Structure 1
């Protein structure tokens, strides 16, 4: 960590945004290591299934499109993960009586058991990740992450996803 701080002091004062993007991508990849090392094979669960299981467990009951919105996982990947979780007896899918087009996802007993096993692992990863930051840094990071996600999810007047429109290759 000291090396990165020293490098930063000698760099151009203008941030290299492409480098920061690649740092975020690296961060994402490294954050998945405890999952792939400790959980994936042991519990025969994919990353997207894990993310859905954790989201459904935290919410109690939700719909596929809500999980997609909350996690940023695309709808097709959510659909595949829902099918696998249901086939493996980890979630149940039922029609919402108030809206027959909406399917409600809830954890089964097996899903709840896995959630209770995996939730502490997620907490351990979070505690480790933020252990070198003080409270002010964590609050600032949360605010920055919220702004970045808002930017990525914004739509134009026509309802088009601005992120895809503005990052289209020339």
Structure 2
């Protein structure tokens, strides 16, 4: 039996993909949080701005579905972005009970800044991998995620 260092996990853990994914996700979350904090942003800001940029103006409910932001957090996120004039909130002309959220030109500039920051973060996270290995890892993770997303969707209905 080996004498482990004080911070070494049991060897059987280090061969489990679930453990490796969890540990890597912890590092990724920390790096993204620190990177966004450095430019006065949060992950929710990026997700909401990216959804608006890709899909166009939308209701808060649609934005929640597209961005994965729970509706209870959506209002606060929209308020933060609106205060910084990165999004505009207008009553829906077809249903005055709803708001339509639109990205502003400043919001698009902020999104480009966040895209650049995320590129740096990804480079840091994946530093030990070659470009080909990064592509392969991304492809494999997307495949695993897609499989489980489809399964959870089927089991919900």
> Common fold, TM-score beyond 0.5?
yes
Q: Does 1:32 align with 2:33?
A: yes
Q: Which residue of 1 aligns with 2:19?
A: 19
Q: Which residue of 1 aligns with 2:64?
A: 68
Unaligned runs of 5+ in 1: 1-6, 160-170
Counterpart-to-counterpart distance in 1, 2:72 and 2:87: 17
Counterpart-to-counterpart distance in 1, 2:13 and 2:124: 30
- Aligned residues between the structures: 145
Counterpart-to-counterpart distance in 2, 1:65 and 1:157: 22
Is the contact between residue 61 and residue 104 of structure 1 (CA under 8 Å) also seen in structure 2? no
Is the contact between residue 90 and residue 107 of structure 1 (CA under 8 Å) also seen in structure 2? yes
Unaligned runs of 5+ in 2: 1-7
Is the contact between residue 95 and residue 102 of structure 1 (CA under 8 Å) also seen in structure 2? yes
Is the contact between residue 86 and residue 93 of structure 1 (CA under 8 Å) also seen in structure 2? yes
Is the contact between residue 91 and residue 111 of structure 1 (CA under 8 Å) also seen in structure 2? yes
SS at match of 1:92: strand
RMSD of equivalent CA atoms: 3.5
Relative contact order higher in (CA < 8 Å, ≥ 6 apart): 2
Is the contact between residue 54 and residue 119 of structure 1 (CA under 8 Å) also seen in structure 2? no
Per-residue CA deviation, residues 101-158 of structure 1 (Å, 9 max, x unaligned), is 8754322233233233333222222333334323432232222322343315622445
Per-residue CA deviation, residues 45-85 of structure 1 (Å, 9 max, x unaligned), is 4442243224433x161434444344433232123212332
Counterpart-to-counterpart distance in 1, 2:50 and 2:43: 11
Q: Does 1:86 align with 2:87?
A: no
SS at match of 1:128: helix
Is the contact between residue 57 and residue 103 of structure 2 (CA under 8 Å) also seen in structure 1? no
Scaled by the length of structure 1, what TM-score is found? 0.61
Alignment of structure 1 residues 99-110 onto 2, 5 Å: 100=95, 103-110=99-106
